[in-house]
Amino acid sequence: MTTINPYNFVPLKSKEPDRSLGYTGKLRLKDDHYSGKIACILKALSPLITLDQSRKDVKNKKFLRNNRKTPILQGASIKGMIRSVYEAITDSCLTFAATNGTSGKDKIPYRYADLGNYLNSKCNSLEALCPACRLFGAIKGDTLNCQGKVAFSDAALVEGTLSQQKCCLKELLSPKPHHYATYGKCGHPGSPVAGRKFYYHQGKTPSFSVKETPSNNRSIIIEEYAPVESAFSFQIYGENLTKEELGKLLLAIELLDGLGHKIGLGKAIGLGSCCITISREKSSITKACKRYENWNTGAIGDWYSLKAGREELSEGLIEVLRLNKAEDGTIRYPDYREYKKEPFNAPINALGVFVGTTLNGGRPPGTDDVAESQPQEPLFKTKQGENAARPDEVAVAPPQEPPPKTKQGEDAAWLKEIYKDKLVFMDTQGKEVVRSRKGYQGKPGLLEAGKWFILSGTNSSRRA
Ligand SMILES: [Zn+2]
C-alpha cells in the first residue's frame, strides 16, 4: 500500500503578501466595517487531546480543564489553527520558518533559500501588515504591538464525555527541517521551503497508542481523551473587520464539507481532527454605521452570506484538509530503517507520497518565483509571463560517488536541475554553474540529475 507522509506543505502563491491595506485598529469603527460575535461548535472527528501541563510531576496526563472543571480547548490553540488556514487563504507571511539553523538533538544544520517578502519580520509596522497579521495580530518586542481584530474564547466541552482510558501515545517526533525531501521544494539544501505545513487527517480511528514498555519512556501517557463526536463550544469576537476579512474568516472557521481542521496534541499520529460549524442563531454581527443608530437593531441579518467560497481555497490547501485522505494509503512516517532507502529519501509529491529519485513537477503549481532569489544576474532571462522557471527534473541529493578526474580546461560538476533551456550544475566548490541545454554533448538518456558531469567551456558531457 502507498505510504503517505503524515504532513505536507501548501505551496506559497507566486506573489507576495499584500501589505498595502494598513491597519484600521479596533477602536475607530469604520462605517462599513463589521463587528460582533461568531458562535461556533467544534466537533471531534478523531480522538482529541489537550494536556493539562500544570502538574509537571505527574507522569500520567489529564485533559485540560477550566476552573469549573469542564474540559476545554484553549482559545489560543483554536486561534492558531484558524489563523494557519487564513494565512494560506490570504497568502500571508510565514509566521514560523527559520530558513536555516540546526535541527534535532544531533543539531544537524539545514539551509533553505531566503523567504524574501514572505518573512514574518517584514510585517514590522502597523502600515505594513500582511492580511493575517492585520486580522490576528503581530507582536514584535517593543517596536510593534498589534493585537489584531479578533479574540477567541476557550472552547468548553458541551456534548459527550471524556473517555477514561489510560494510553501510551506513539512517540511524537520534533520537526526535522533538515529532511529536505519533505521540507524543501526540490529536496536539496538551498532550495525554497516547500510552503505551509499541515498534517493530514488519518480518519476516525487512527492507531495512536503503543504498549507501555521501559524502552518507550519518552512517550506521553494520557488518562483521558475526547472521543469522536464530542463537541466543544466557543466564541470569536471581531471588531472592525472589512467585508473581505469577515468573508475569508468565516471560510477559515467553517471550511467546506469534507474538509477539517486539526487541533491539540499528536497531529502526526492522527489525533485532533475536527470540524467547526458556525451557529448562526447564536451569533450576532453588526455594521458600525447601524450600531450608532441603535445597538439592538444594528444587527444585520445577511452577514453569513459574506462567507467566501471554494475559489479562495487552493488545490494544495484542499488536499491537506481533506477528511478522507486516509483512503489514499497508509499515513505514517517511514521507519528509520526505511528512511535511507528509495523512495523514502526522495521528495514527497503533492499528495504526500514519496516518489523516487527525481521529482517531475512535484507539488502543485504556484511555488515558483517565491525564492530561488539568486543575487547574480540570471544567465537565461525568461520572458515575462512565460512559465519557463519550472525545472523538468531536480536532483534530490548530491552524488554519492567522488567527482570524476578531469583534464586541463575541464571541471567536474554535478547536475542539480534540468530546465527546458538550461542545466544547473554545482561545481566541487559548491558554486552554481549554469550551462545551456544545447551545450550538452552526449546521449539524451545520460542527462540525469544528481550525476557528475564534465564541464568544458560552454559544453557539458558525462562519462558513462
Ligand atoms: Zn504577516
Q: Look at residue 388 in the predicted model and tell me its pLDDT.
A: 43
Spell out the residues 6+ positions from residue 277 whose beta carbon is closer than 8 angstroms to its own: 40, 41, 43, 254
pTM of structure: 0.75
Q: 400 C-alpha to center of ligand 1: Å?
A: 40
Examine the domain organization and report whether 15 and 155 are in the same domain. Answer: yes
Residue 290 has pLDDT above 90, yes or no: no
Spell out the residues 6+ positions from residue 407 whose beta carbon is closer than 8 angstroms to its own: none
Is residue 243 in a domain? Answer: yes
Is residue 300 in a domain? Answer: yes
Q: 178 C-alpha to center of ligand 1: Å?
A: 25
Is residue 347 in a domain? Answer: no
Interval 2-35: pLDDT, tens? 889 999 989 888 778 999 887 766 555 566 789 9
Examine the domain organization and report whether 306 and 398 are in the same domain. Answer: no
Interval 31-87: pLDDT, tens? 678 999 999 999 999 999 999 888 777 888 999 999 999 999 999 999 999 999 999
Is residue 387 in a domain? Answer: no
Q: Look at residue 95 in the predicted model and tell me its pLDDT.
A: 81
Q: 139 C-alpha to center of ligand 1: Å?
A: 10
Angle between helices 243-254 and 75-90 (to 10 degrees): 120
Into how many domains does the chain fold? Answer: 2
Examine the domain organization and report whether 327 and 454 are in the same domain. Answer: no
CATH code, domain carrying 405: 2.40.50.140
The parent domain of residue 301 ranges over: 3-331
Examine the domain organization and report whether 318 and 412 are in the same domain. Answer: no
Share of the chain above pLDDT 70, in %: 83
Share of the chain above pLDDT 90, in %: 42
User: Sign (positive/negative) of CA torsion 392, 398, 399, 404?
Assistant: positive
- Rounded Cα distance between 82 and 40, Å, is 12
Q: 137 C-alpha to center of ligand 1: Å?
A: 8
Interval 164-202: pLDDT, tens? 989 888 877 777 777 777 777 766 777 778 889 999 999
Examine the domain organization and report whether 294 and 409 are in the same domain. Answer: no
Q: 123 C-alpha to center of ligand 1: Å?
A: 5
Is residue 386 in a domain? Answer: no
Q: 98 C-alpha to center of ligand 1: Å?
A: 15
Examine the domain organization and report whether 284 and 421 are in the same domain. Answer: no
Is residue 202 in a domain? Answer: yes
In DSSP notation, 330-397 reads EE-PPPHHHHTSTTTTSPB-TTSBB--SS-SS-SPS--TTSS---SSPPSSPPPTT----S-SEE-SS
Examine the domain organization and report whether 161 and 53 are in the same domain. Answer: yes
Examine the domain organization and report whether 327 and 397 are in the same domain. Answer: no
Rounded mean pLDDT, 97-123: 80
Q: 210 C-alpha to center of ligand 1: Å?
A: 40
Instruction: Choose the final residue of a domain: 331, 361, 377.
Output: 331
Cis amide linkage into residue 109, ω under 30° from 0: no
Examine the domain organization and report whether 20 and 148 are in the same domain. Answer: yes
Q: 268 C-alpha to center of ligand 1: Å?
A: 26
Highest mean pLDDT pick, 140-144, 270-274, 375-379, 447-451: 270-274
pLDDT band at 307 (very low <50, low <70, confident <90, very high): very high
Q: 133 C-alpha to center of ligand 1: Å?
A: 4
In the structure grid, which three cell numbers stand for residue 419, read together? 530546465
Instruction: Choose the final residue of a domain: 312, 331, 350.
Output: 331
Is residue 377 in a domain? Answer: no
Q: 105 C-alpha to center of ligand 1: Å?
A: 30
Is residue 47 in a domain? Answer: yes
Owner of C-alpha cell 459574506: 306
268 burial via Cβ count (<10 Å: 0-12, 13-18, 19+): buried
Q: Look at residue 289 in the predicted model and tell me its pLDDT.
A: 63
- Rounded Cα distance between 231 and 42, Å, is 6
CB of 93 closer than 8 Å to CB of 130: yes
Find the length of the chain.
464
Examine the domain organization and report whether 431 and 299 are in the same domain. Answer: no
Q: 17 C-alpha to center of ligand 1: Å?
A: 8
Examine the domain organization and report whether 249 and 109 are in the same domain. Answer: yes
Examine the domain organization and report whether 283 and 400 are in the same domain. Answer: no
Q: 95 C-alpha to center of ligand 1: Å?
A: 7
